[in-house]
Amino acid sequence: MHSRCFLLHAACLAMGLLIGFGSNLVRSRGQKDVACEASPSSTKGAPPCAPSALTSPPDALNNPLFLASIRTAIREELRAELATHPFQGDVPHEEGRPPIKMLDAKDQERQRLAYDRASKSLSKAIGYGTWTQEDRQQFRSTLHDLSIPQQDQIIGELFGAIQSGRLRVQDSGPPL
């Protein structure tokens, strides 16, 4: 169990470093090429700047298609790594940790209904453009029934709507 977590973290770290170094390399090459084009050479025998190794504009890192291809590559790598490790649903639990519990159909249905309620509440508030105290209370009452990924997703949608200006918090205080 620990080795699987370690391998997953190591793969994520390696991908992050690879992306970071790659973007720095692309940016530095883009700046070098701009500098070469901006300063004409003063001597007749000076070699011209090398052709750019950059195949896309310097702002390609902000391009949604470029970012989507990176996300796709990371997902494929993670799936391939996780496929090499069999699922161990009946792992004996360590002391101090609760045992892993598989959700039954009733719990899954409860989570789905809670997610639907939270999503409808958020959509309604976005439609009105304001986030009221009542919206906040209703939203918080459904959060404990959601799984962690569902909570992350719905809270991300809430804060995304607030940051984009589609939703304005009516009362003072935090949105949750």
Distance set, CA 150 to CA 16, 94, 161 (Å): 24, 26, 17
Q: What is the pLDDT of residue 48?
A: 53
Q: Report the SS3 class of residue 41.
A: coil
Residue showing tokens 């004996």: 92
pTM of the complete model: 0.43
Beta-bridge partner residues of 131: 169
Q: What is the pLDDT of residue 32?
A: 53
Q: What is the pLDDT of residue 113?
A: 92
pLDDT digit string (tens) for the chain, length 176 residues:
566 666 677 777 777 777 877 777 677 666 555 444 444 444 455 455 544 444 555 565 567 777 778 888 888 888 888 778 766 554 555 555 555 556 788 888 999 999 999 999 999 999 999 999 988 888 888 888 898 899 999 999 999 999 999 999 988 778 88
Helices and strands counted in the chain (H then E): 5, 2
| Contact of 134 with 113, CB cutoff 8 Å | no
Q: What is the pLDDT of residue 107?
A: 86
Backbone angles phi, psi at 169, to 5 degrees: -75, 120
Distance set, CA 114 to CA 28, 100, 144, 157, 161 (Å): 48, 22, 9, 15, 20
| Contact of 144 with 111, CB cutoff 8 Å | no
Q: What is the pLDDT of residue 175?
A: 84
